[in-house]
Amino acid sequence: MHRTKVRIVEDALDANNTIAAANRADFDRAGVTVVNFMSAPGAGKTTLLERAVAELPGVRVGVLEGDVQGSMDADRLASLHIPVVQLNTDAGFGGECHLDANMVRSAIPALPLDEIDLLIVENVGNLVCPAEFRIGEDARVMVSAVTEGEDKPLKYPLMYRACELVLVNKIDLLPHLDIDLDRLLYNIDKVHPDVERIVVSARTGEGVDAWRDWLTRVAAPAGAMAAG
């Protein structure tokens, strides 16, 4: 009797990762670098985007704005004359507390991928679930506001570990807080040793140049590919 060799699929992906890989392929084809931008509610993501994307020399930026409902942040960013697409988890996705690969996939037809080099996906404000879902991004960035306390890396370690960059925001408020910046930085390093960090104030602009430089740097390879 002839015996068929059974092939074992070893690298079976779950549904989210399968769709994230499809998103990834679409972004690669268009030469677009994608950043998944995450934080707790009110940490300053939108203001940090307003500060950065208005002036990114040579980089054409687009934003995919994730919210449970509403389009307030998208409206703010659209006033900067960049392409912005709103994705609401309330509309067909059960009011989810995070974006996943399938939600992002549903937005791809609305994104002008051929006209941008860098897509920033502003996730729903939440320190837990967004870290668990890849969306096809190149890099993950989180904002950790000093007002939230120095213990947050220890309480939400998955989020801090998932990121390539941590923006430590609202440092203009440090003189008015009982918070030790060194302790916060120590705790970030404890859960994610040597992760890149930029200390910023979206309000005063301190550190924003370094944040712009970081975005320009990650956008460069895809931009070069698109031009080639």
Count of residues that bind a second copy according to CB under 8 A: 36
Segment interacting with a second copy, rule: CB under 8 A, options 20-28, 69-77, 110-118, 205-213: 69-77
Burial of 205 (0-12, 13-18, 19+ CB in 10 A): exposed
Query: For residues 161 and 220, which CB has a smaller minimum distance to a second copy in the complex?
Result: 161
Q: Which of residues 82-111 bind a second copy (CB under 8 A)?
A: 95-97
Residue 66, interface with a second copy (CB under 8 A)? no
Residue 161, interface with a second copy (CB under 8 A)? no
| CA pair distance 56, 76, nearest whole angstrom | 17
Which is it for strands 84-88 and 196-199: parallel, antiparallel or unpaired?
unpaired
> Which residue matches tokens 């031009």?
227
Residue 121, interface with a second copy (CB under 8 A)? no
Query: For residues 70 and 221, which CB has a smaller minimum distance to a second copy in the complex?
Result: 70
| CA pair distance 123, 37, nearest whole angstrom | 6
Q: Which of 143, 142, 155, 149 is nearest to 181 (CA)?
A: 149
Query: For residues 23 and 123, which CB has a smaller minimum distance to a second copy in the complex?
Result: 123
H helix runs in the chain, sequence order: 15-30, 45-53, 72-78, 101-107, 152-155, 157-162, 181-191, 208-227
| CA pair distance 146, 219, nearest whole angstrom | 27
Query: For residues 105 and 155, which CB has a smaller minimum distance to a second copy in the complex?
Result: 155
Query: For residues 70 and 112, which CB has a smaller minimum distance to a second copy in the complex?
Result: 70
Residue 128, interface with a second copy (CB under 8 A)? yes
| CA pair distance 64, 74, nearest whole angstrom | 8
CB atoms within 10 A of CB 184: 24
Please identify which residue in 69, 114, 206, 217 interacts with a second copy, judged by CB under 8 A: 69
Question: Minimal distance in Å, beta carbon 43 to a second copy?
Answer: 8
Q: Which of 141, 206, 133 is nearest to 173 (CA)?
A: 206
Q: Which of residues 6-65 bind a second copy (CB under 8 A)?
A: 40-42
Please identify which residue in 115, 154, 190, 224 interacts with a second copy, judged by CB under 8 A: 154
Q: Which of residues 170-199 bind a second copy (CB under 8 A)?
A: 170, 172-173, 176-178
Question: Residue numbers of the site for a second copy (CB under 8 A)?
Answer: 40-42, 67-70, 72, 95-97, 124-129, 132, 145, 147-149, 151-152, 154-158, 170, 172-173, 176-178, 203
